[in-house]
Amino acid sequence: MSFAASLTSAELTAKASVRRRLFGELARTRLSGVILIVMLLVLWEVSAARGWIISDNWPRFSAVLAAAYHGLRSGELGEILGSTLYRMLAGYAAGCALGVLFGLLLGSNCFLDWTIRPLIEIQRTLPSPAIIPPLILFLGVDDTLKIFIIMLAVFPPVFVNTYGGVRGLDETLLLTAGTFGLSRFDTLRKIVLPATLPAMTAGMRIALSLALIMAVIGEMISGTSGVGNYLMSMQYAMRADSMYAAVICLAAAGYLLNRIFLVLERAVLHWHHSMRMS
């Protein structure tokens, strides 16, 4: 994947085939990144094995791998990941839907903007850990609470980006719509929505990792299932290798989710110039 910012003529003419791009350059350029990661892991293993760093919380990487293997084989890791992902997706969907809705509405309507935005600003700037105790009152300590927390975290970036996208709309586009006599609804559908889509997806991409993070944090604070809970109980059981194994699985899951999102984003935004160059 090259960028518009690269100034070689090959990119600018955008003639190269996608396949060559994907497997030729992609593999080659990303390879260095993978090697970097491998080197860091080797460093981890050596530092623990050689005793450069002594701590119950710094097991050998090989021990972590072994724990990961056992955890995956026994299905334990799969189960906790599934549990976390379920909550995460529920909260993510809700948060995105609300974020887009409010972003579009408030971005285009002044009255709603003035009345509702201050309230959203307060919600957005209030860190969720601080409001968990009151939330427990109304939502208990199980799934509802956690999904709600996730939704609260997903909403702001999606809202902010959608709102920003709507506000940042090129005036010319709107004027053109006016010239063509488009109705309010049609303007929204044919001009505003497509033009704001890249901003929306940018917000949704950020929100994706936020959703996973909040899902795990919520589980660390209360509950019986999920990765967050597993991380805490492994720490208290002095099983740091299992804990790191779960962290790695979490990273892998997050990476995969992001990749899937990118593929979907590309499919939806294939017409936009930021995608055209890739």
Please answer whether residues 160 and 168 qualify as being in contact, where contact means their C-beta atoms are separated by less than 8 angstroms: no
Dist CA 206 CA 183 (whole Å): 33
Please answer whether residues 129 and 218 qualify as being in contact, where contact means their C-beta atoms are separated by less than 8 angstroms: no
Query: Which lies closer to other proteins via its Cβ, residue 183 or residue 224?
Result: 224
Minimum CB–partner distance for residue 101 and other proteins (Å):
18
Please name the residue ranges forming H helices in 14-127: 18-19, 27-49, 61-73, 76-108, 110-125
Query: Which lies closer to other proteins via its Cβ, residue 57 or residue 183?
Result: 57
Residue 2's identity, in one-letter code, is S
DSSP conformation class of 23: I
Minimum CB–partner distance for residue 27 and other proteins (Å):
9
Query: Which lies closer to other proteins via its Cβ, residue 83 or residue 161?
Result: 161
Minimum CB–partner distance for residue 198 and other proteins (Å):
7
Please answer whether residues 202 and 140 qualify as being in contact, where contact means their C-beta atoms are separated by less than 8 angstroms: no
Residue with tokens 């809705």: 101
Distances (CA, A) of 159 to 71, 176, 212, 217, 228: 38, 26, 18, 22, 27
- 42-46's contacts with Cβ under 8 Å and 24+ in sequence apart are none
Q: How many beta carbons lie within 10 A of that of residue 114, not counting itself? A: 10
Minimum CB–partner distance for residue 6 and other proteins (Å):
6
Query: Which lies closer to other proteins via its Cβ, residue 90 or residue 202?
Result: 202
Minimum CB–partner distance for residue 40 and other proteins (Å):
8
Minimum CB–partner distance for residue 182 and other proteins (Å):
18
